[in-house]
């Protein structure tokens, strides 16, 4: 799942089926495949993997795609992104000789040069070899403002759960006897050098049904974690809890965030020894920056005389708000096709990252002094048809920011901007890593079943013949407020577009392309609207004769895997091939598997008969039929995915095979977590399997060497 809270629950219940009867969960004949590491299940996985690799890897298409992907994924011409810590700029970098990567640093002056001089801080490949572990980088939490000590997070094989170990950036070594958290889905937040807030698995009652911490402990250096006092405990039925210490000089404060479910939360401020709840909507997103409180609304809100719309960004003096003032400034007002994608704060400025019909617009606003007004100015030099990512370089001490610009066929550029002048300096520009000669990006719209206009983008040659025989790949997601924005994908570019495929991205409801209402229009009982939108786009591609069913493939992962799983069961006549990655598929048990319990605010509760009545309509595992004809489908997942359980894909494949469906392939990587791969070698291998499957099934048989793989 792309935005980031994941959870697990373990118990058995009786669920109401559509015909009014009940059936015990144990009646599922494929339940044994949910036992992730059992010898029986792994033997089944090994057998399926062997069949898929034997079918796909011998072809020259597979070999060509794999080598091409390795060349771009390991290219030294990729742009290293930066994170400023103290006086240095840090980057995690992987390459062919260092698949796990190095955490390294340089100066900004050196980074500006043609050949930056990097200093290795931590070599993960050397560490993995020494400790006989398959470590995957999960980042570091730095003690501010000292910027010497940090907690490094390392995952075994790419799982969400990780190990956290204290590291000394000056000595470039782990701290002997320092803070240490064993493997868990935990959080660590510095208070000072010897104190931290810790949220982790600390025994019975410390985890929610989602499998995430609900207890905040204040841990002192040198004391056992189990003796650390609890400073806040959420309800056992909540999703999670976290805490932070804001170390901004002059604005030091402590906060607790109680996550009731995926979309609702409460914020508490520590004042005079007590946790005081902030009087803000429980579905909003809030940030505190120096003396400012910012609130991004997901629903309409009237805190006083004025009513503010969903999608608006509000600002107010934090201390004035605590004193009862509700006279907010509305610094962004949404439009019908305009929403706030993100905003960033520097020391004295607010940078708005807005989307106008899925196209980026940026504005810089001055944080006013008391009694002042908000003054806006554009960022100069912005190119057209690109997506921008903005991040503050150092929000405590400067007004500089990093900016990353890219588009479907526009290679990334990386720069550093100055909010005061409203300009930015180009630091790095990536070369084209796949051939875009003669390509253009065109945006279309189509009317969905309920009349809503759904935009989608097509990447294709400018002179594309409209004869219905163009091999086309359609991608969608449609969930969790994740917007699908133009991006430069080396994998899609090298494995699909460069080889002559047409590529399409659909901005279906359930995402956040047009603000929170676009998401809320397709959750729970309205989830079907995401699927209707996707079908409308597919039918429009055929209507325009860009492609036709035999040449139209679809791809989706995670919630997008649920999307394409529903395309399999709802419209098998519409597609020529389906690629379904790390998917949810069994929607009767999703909330009992790993992180699934946290997603009930998105999908609904299967144990509630009224909600199961609509959930079962989009549960592919329950809707696949033995007497239906389905297009070729390839399922991929990871044994180490501790977010979306691999049992979803395993059980679906086993069921389809037993029903007698041909053309069903499966591959499960042993590492990789929810990303599906732990390094570039694994990523290139799995992606080559996936794309060689698509080329084999969608190309005319006479032109496809690998077309026999599914015979």
Distances (CA, A) of 143 to 89, 146, 288: 16, 6, 19
Q: Is the pLDDT of residue 66 over 60?
A: yes
Determine the Cα–Cα distance for residues 483 and 191; give it in Å rounded to an integer.
34
Q: Is the pLDDT of residue 377 over 60?
A: yes
* pLDDT confidence tier of residue 564, bands split at 50, 70 and 90: very high
- The answer to whether 474 and 459 are in contact (CB under 8 A) is no
180-195 mean pLDDT:
97
Angle at 708 between CA 702 and CA 711, to 5 degrees: 125
Contacts of residue 22, defined as CB under 8 A and 6 or more positions apart, other chains included, come to: 14, 15, 16
- Average pLDDT for the chain: 92
DSSP letter at 510 equals: T
Of the two residues 126 and 96, the one the predictor is more confident about is 126
- The answer to whether 571 and 535 are in contact (CB under 8 A) is yes
> Could you report the per-residue pLDDT of 481-518, keeping only the tens digit for each?
999 999 999 999 999 999 999 999 999 999 999 999 99
- The answer to whether 300 and 308 are in contact (CB under 8 A) is yes
pLDDT at 17: 28
Q: Is the pLDDT of residue 5 over 60?
A: no
Distances (CA, A) of 599 to 411, 523, 636: 35, 11, 21
Beta strands in 434-496 (DSSP E): 439-447, 453-461, 472-475
Angle (deg, nearest 10), helices 647-658 and 559-570: 20
The three-class DSSP label of residue 266 is strand
Six token digits for residue 340: 């706030």
pTM: 0.91
Q: Is the pLDDT of residue 703 over 70?
A: no
529-542 mean pLDDT:
98
Determine the Cα–Cα distance for residues 284 and 293; give it in Å rounded to an integer.
12
Q: Is the pLDDT of residue 178 over 50?
A: yes
> Where does residue 601 rank: exposed (0-12), middle (13-18), buried (19+ CB within 10 A)?
middle
- The answer to whether 53 and 689 are in contact (CB under 8 A) is yes
> Could you report the per-residue pLDDT of 428-453, keeping only the tens digit for each?
999 999 999 999 999 999 999 999 99
Q: Is the pLDDT of residue 20 over 60?
A: no
pLDDT at 26: 55
What are the φ and ψ backbone dihedral angles of 627, each rounded to 5 degrees? -95, 15
H or E stretch covering 669: strand 664-669
158-171 mean pLDDT:
95
Of the two residues 460 and 159, the one the predictor is more confident about is 460
* pLDDT confidence tier of residue 676, bands split at 50, 70 and 90: low
Distances (CA, A) of 9 to 210, 211, 236: 5, 7, 12
Of the two residues 607 and 17, the one the predictor is more confident about is 607
Q: Is 194 left (phi over 0), alpha (psi -120 to 50) or beta?
A: alpha
* pLDDT confidence tier of residue 709, bands split at 50, 70 and 90: very low
The three-class DSSP label of residue 530 is helix
Determine the Cα–Cα distance for residues 105 and 92; give it in Å rounded to an integer.
9
pLDDT at 49: 97
Q: Is the pLDDT of residue 700 over 70?
A: no
* pLDDT confidence tier of residue 139, bands split at 50, 70 and 90: very high
> Could you report the per-residue pLDDT of 21-60, keeping only the tens digit for each?
333 445 899 999 999 999 999 999 999 999 999 999 999 9
Q: Is the pLDDT of residue 678 over 80?
A: no
The residues carrying an active-site annotation are 558, 674
609-619 mean pLDDT:
98
* pLDDT confidence tier of residue 16, bands split at 50, 70 and 90: very low
pLDDT at 579: 98
> Could you report the per-residue pLDDT of 90-117, keeping only the tens digit for each?
999 999 899 999 999 999 999 999 999 9
Task: Using a pLDDT cut of 70, give the percent of the chain over it.
Answer: 94
Six token digits for residue 429: 């520009």
Lowest mean pLDDT among 122-136, 382-396, 553-567: 382-396
pLDDT at 18: 31
pLDDT at 704: 46
570-592 mean pLDDT:
97
Cα 326 to its chain centre, rounded Å, is: 34
Six token digits for residue 679: 């390094």
Determine the Cα–Cα distance for residues 694 and 684; give it in Å rounded to an integer.
15
Of the two residues 681 and 4, the one the predictor is more confident about is 681
Residue (of 393, 442, 445, 400) closest to 418 by Cα position: 400
């Amino acid at each position: 799942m792309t935005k980031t809270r994941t959870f697990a629950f373990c118990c058995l219940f009786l669920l109401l089926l559509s015909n009014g009867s009940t059936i015990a969960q144990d009646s599922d004949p494929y339940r044994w495949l949910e036992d992730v590491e059992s010898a029986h299940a792994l033997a089944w996985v090994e057998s399926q993997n062997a069949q898929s690799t034997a079918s796909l890897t011998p072809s020259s298409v597979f070999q060509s795609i794999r080598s091409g992907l390795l060349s771009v994924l390991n290219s030294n011409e990729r742009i290293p992104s930066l994170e400023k810590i103290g006086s240095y700029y840090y980057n995690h970098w992987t390459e062919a000789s260092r698949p796990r990567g190095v955490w390294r640093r340089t100066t900004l002056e050196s980074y500006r040069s043609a050949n930056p001089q990097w200093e290795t801080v931590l070599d993960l490949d050397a560490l993995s070899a020494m400790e006989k572990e398959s470590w995957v980088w999960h980042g570091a939490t730095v003690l501010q403002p000292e910027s010497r000590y940090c907690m490094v997070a390392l995952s075994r094989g790419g799982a969400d759960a990780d190990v956290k170990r204290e590291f000394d950036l000056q000595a470039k070594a782990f701290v002997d006897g320092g803070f240490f958290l064993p493997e868990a889905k935990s959080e660590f937040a510095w208070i000072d050098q010897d104190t931290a807030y810790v949220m982790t698995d600390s025994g019975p009652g410390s985890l929610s049904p989602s499998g995430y911490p609900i207890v905040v402990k204040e841990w002192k250096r040198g004391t056992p974690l189990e003796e650390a006092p609890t400073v806040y405990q959420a309800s056992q039925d909540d999703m999670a809890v976290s805490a932070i210490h804001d170390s901004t000089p002059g604005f030091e404060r402590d906060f607790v965030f109680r996550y009731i479910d995926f979309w609702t939360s409460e914020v508490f401020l520590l004042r005079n020894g007590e946790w005081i709840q902030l009087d803000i909507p429980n579905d909003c997103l809030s940030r505190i920056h120096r003396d400012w409180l910012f609130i991004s609304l997901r629903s309409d809100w009237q805190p006083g005389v004025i009513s503010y719309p969903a999608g608006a960004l509000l600002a107010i003096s934090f201390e004035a708000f605590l004193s009862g003032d509700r006279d907010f400034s509305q610094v962004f007002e949404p439009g019908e096709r305009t929403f706030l994608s993100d905003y960033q704060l520097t020391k004295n400025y607010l940078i708005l990252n807005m989307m106008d019909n899925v196209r980026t617009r940026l504005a810089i606003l001055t944080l006013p002094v008391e009694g002042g007004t908000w003054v806006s100015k554009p960022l100069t030099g912005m190119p057209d048809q690109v997506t921008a990512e903005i991040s503050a370089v150092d929000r405590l001490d400067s007004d500089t920011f990093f900016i990353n610009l890219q588009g479907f066929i526009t290679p990334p550029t990386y720069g550093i901007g100055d909010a005061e002048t409203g300009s930015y300096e180009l630091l790095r520009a990536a070369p084209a890593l796949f051939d875009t000669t003669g390509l253009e990006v065109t945006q279309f719209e189509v009317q969905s079943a309920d009349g809503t206009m759904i935009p989608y983008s097509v990447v294709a040659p400018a002179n594309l013949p409209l004869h219905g025989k163009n091999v086309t790949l359609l991608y969608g997601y449609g969930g969790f407020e994740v917007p699908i924005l133009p991006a430069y994908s080396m994998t899609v570019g090298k494995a699909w577009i460069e080889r002559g495929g047409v590529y399409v991205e659909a901005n279906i409801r359930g995402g956040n392309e047009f603000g929170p209402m676009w998401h809320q229009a397709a959750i729970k009982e309205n989830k079907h609207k995401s699927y209707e939108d996707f079908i409308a786009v597919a039918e429009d591609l055929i209507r325009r004769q860009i492609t036709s069913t035999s040449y139209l493939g679809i791809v989706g992962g995670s919630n997008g895997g649920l999307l394409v799983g529903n395309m399999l069961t709802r419209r098998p006549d519409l597609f020529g091939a389906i690629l379904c990655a790390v998917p949810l598929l069994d929607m009767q048990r999703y909330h009992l598997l790993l992180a699934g319990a946290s997603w009930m605010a998105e999908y609904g509760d299967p144990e509630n008969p009224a909600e199961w009545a609509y959930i079962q309509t989009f549960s592919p595992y329950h809707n696949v039929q033995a007497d239906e004809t389905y297009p070729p489908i390839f399922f991929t997942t990871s044994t180490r995915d501790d977010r979306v359980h691999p049992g979803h894909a395993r059980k679906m494949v086993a069921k389809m095979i037993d029903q007698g469906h041909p053309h069903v392939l499966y591959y499960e990587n042993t590492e990789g977590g929810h990303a599906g791969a732990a390094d570039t070698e694994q990523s290139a291998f799995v992606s080559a399997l996936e794309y060689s499957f698509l080329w084999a099934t969608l190309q005319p048989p006479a032109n496809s060497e690998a077309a026999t793989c599914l015979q």
